[in-house]
Structure 1
């Protein structure tokens, strides 16, 4: 049973700005996909290996899955972001609860936006491979993605212990 208090803490300008920028990029990605749809071949990259090389091709309709997954993640993570009282904390007390809620909410906001931007990037790069403009995602994709995601998590977790 969750007995943590529910606090009404307004979003920061940074959180609002990150949400707006991500929404604009997400919508631009959908518009771009719509614009180039007729130029895409019937088969597009559907999966990549750890080196960023295509290892499965599929119908171009599979491209629709990426923005749908991004939207689902955004909705789910926005729910979690709005309810920091549902998150796990160590040593939560009256003197640190507001900071911990803000920190946890900011972590969810950053991760949500990183994930959505990742899916927009994957969609764009997949379209570029399908159009023959590039050969792969590149070998740097996976390490860079992991550094961003785990780096963000580490930053906010370390910050919560201070």
Structure 2
């Protein structure tokens, strides 16, 4: 059985840009939460049904948990990016083309990470705004847009991977 070669792949400019954008989103949502914190009630809606009605309530600290979850997802993607040789590749992976496969995998991770951080940041902002009665909560279409973006991204990079010789 062929063992994938261990190659260190430097981050591309695009990956650095994604990471900087993610960090800006984290800082932005934390600053927004700090600004809005005094206006938030102690009990906020933390779950909505498909008709966008609140059906579960909890502490306003829930929003911090949502932001923490977002950071943990970001860190998880960042961690697995360091081990592209552990991913599942087609049998045509060789020492000669491994770098191209790894770069493709890392770009896929970077895009999915960015899309996930954007979604969870918007979700956090929507929780804050909904709790402060500034706007309605994001409907199910936001979730569907995120899922579609993820599917399109993964399919795009799978097609790119098929072109690697």
TM-score scaled by length of structure 1:
0.91
Matched, 1:136 2:128: no
- Structure 1: state its 5+ residue gaps: none
Matched, 1:152 2:153: yes
RMSD of the alignment, in Å?
1.8
Partner of 2:68: 68
Q: Is the partner of 2:136 in helix, strand or coil?
A: coil
- Structure 2: state its 5+ residue gaps: none
Partner of 1:86: 86
Partner of 1:124: 125
Distance 1:42 1:97 in 2: 53
Partner of 1:18: 18
- Shift in Å, 1:51: 5.1
Partner of 2:33: 33
Q: Is the partner of 1:111 in helix, strand or coil?
A: helix
After TM superposition, the structure 1 stretch with the greater mean CA deviation from structure 2, 36-45 or 135-144, is 135-144
Distance 2:7 2:53 in 1: 47
Structure-to-structure mapping, 1:46-65, within 5 angstroms: 46-50=46-50, 52-65=52-65
8 Å Cα contact 2:4-2:95 kept in structure 1: no
